[in-house]
Chains A and B, each alone.
Chain A
Amino acid sequence: MGDASVEHSHGHHMDPAVEYSSSKLGMWLFLGTEILLFGGLFAAYAIFRAKYPEMFFEQHVELNKKMGAVNTCILIFSSLTMAMGVSAIQRGKQKATAILLLITILCGLGFGVVKYFEYSAKFHHHIYPDTSIFFSLYFLMTGLHMLHVFIGLAILGVLFALTIKGKFTAKYNTPVEVGGLYWHLVDLIWIYLFPLLYLIG
């Protein structure tokens, strides 16, 4: 009897509606912290840009605008597929969700591949994080962003695996939506990084 109550105490299931809204609020709160984490880098960017406009102007041309633009399109498209994936599972369409998640993951991997080429090219030209403040900002901002892309891919990978196993239905799909929110954040940050680093000199 004692054991049964020990077992049950943390199987207390929350009302599904409460769990759903709690999980979403929880993720939005976490996204807020990510905004402030990157915020320090944006603040550093603003300060150093204002202090050394010529450095930004001269050095940003080293960045490959085309690759940056391609990456922007990849991420925006991946946000589309992610959002559609969430809608799909809300309608109970497990297979469609799995496909859309897979496409999203492939986009994320594609982003990584492009970034790999970008970084390699920089290193090849002897441009490193300590080359100048502009390149410190470039590597740190895109590097931290890339780290979040990897975390996002891990989350999406788990969601994909669980979707194939049939864990999500029209009634229960909270992790997909919440994971999707995280992925959209990755897109959001890049929406600012791209113009700030690549486009404005």
Chain B
Amino acid sequence: MSTQSHTEQNHITGNKTYIIVWAVLMVMTAVTVYVSYINFGILNIVIALVVASIKASIVALYFMHLKFEDSITWVFALFPLSLLALLIGMTITDTFTRTIVP
């Protein structure tokens, strides 16, 4: 397994890219705030989480350079998220499937 990746050090993201990413983040923030004033019912939470996830993804991909990292980093960036999903999913399932003895 390669322990030297010369390309990592050589790729320097330009400020222009960063500013575009920042602008997108600001727009999405504005969107999510705006949407919160309107009642979409259950969709409010869905939209909020989707927008947050998109924002988080572009922060990770561009600001944190995940886009240019090796596969091991990707594995360790994503695996905790799946564990988190497991934790949340199973504890919610448990909470709502308990038999309540009257």
Residue positions of A touching B, CB distance < 8 A: 15, 17-18, 20-21, 24-25, 28-29, 31-33, 35-36, 39-40, 42-43, 46-47, 50-51, 65, 69, 72-73, 76-77, 79-80, 82-84, 87, 90-91, 177, 180-181, 184, 187-188, 191-192, 194-196, 198-201
Min CB distance A194 to B, Å, is: 8
Q: Which residues of B contact A21 (CB under 8 A)?
A: 3-5, 8, 70
Residue on A nearest B63 in the bound complex, by CB: A83
| 26 pairs, CB–CB < 8 Å, chain A vs chain B | A17-B3, A17-B9, A21-B3, A24-B73, A28-B69, A28-B77, A36-B80, A36-B84, A43-B84, A43-B87, A43-B92, A46-B88, A47-B91, A72-B29, A73-B26, A80-B21, A87-B13, A87-B18, A187-B59, A191-B59, A192-B52, A195-B32, A195-B48, A196-B48, A199-B48, A201-B44
Residues of B within 8 A of A (CB): 3-6, 8-9, 12-15, 18-19, 21-22, 25-26, 29, 32-33, 36, 44-45, 48-49, 51-52, 55-56, 59-60, 62-65, 69-70, 72-73, 76-77, 79-81, 83-84, 87-88, 91-92, 95-96
Within the assembled complex, what's the spacing in Å between the Cα atoms of A192 and B45? 11
Given A18-B4, A36-B83, residue A87 in contact with residue B60 (CB < 8 A):
no
Residue among A35, A47, A69, A187 making CB contact with B33, cutoff 8 Å = A69
Docked-complex contact A25 and B80, CB < 8 angstroms: no
Distance (whole angstroms) from the CB of A114 to the closest CB of chain B: 15
Grouping DSSP codes into helix (H, G, I), strand (E, B) and loop, the A interface class, with mixed when no group exceeds half, is: helix
A28 cross-chain contacts in B, Cβ below 8 A: 69, 73, 76-77
Q: CB-nearest residue of chain B relative to A69?
A: B33
User: What distance in Å separates the Cβ of A200 from its nearest Cβ neighbour in chain B?
Assistant: 5
Query: In the complex, how many angstroms separate the beta carbon of A142 from the nearest chain B beta carbon?
Result: 16
A36, A73, A76, A82, most chain B CB atoms within 10 A:
A76
- Contacts A17-B4, A181-B64, A191-B59 given; indicate if A39 touches B88 (C-beta within 8 A): yes
Apart from A47-B91, A83-B13, A87-B13: 6 A-B pairs, beta carbons within 8 A: A24-B73, A28-B77, A36-B80, A39-B87, A46-B88, A87-B15
For residue B64, which residues in chain A have a CB less than 8 angstroms away from its CB? 180-181, 184
Q: Which 10 A-B pairs have the closest CB atoms?
A: A199-B36, A32-B80, A195-B48, A39-B84, A80-B22, A17-B4, A83-B63, A35-B80, A43-B88, A90-B12
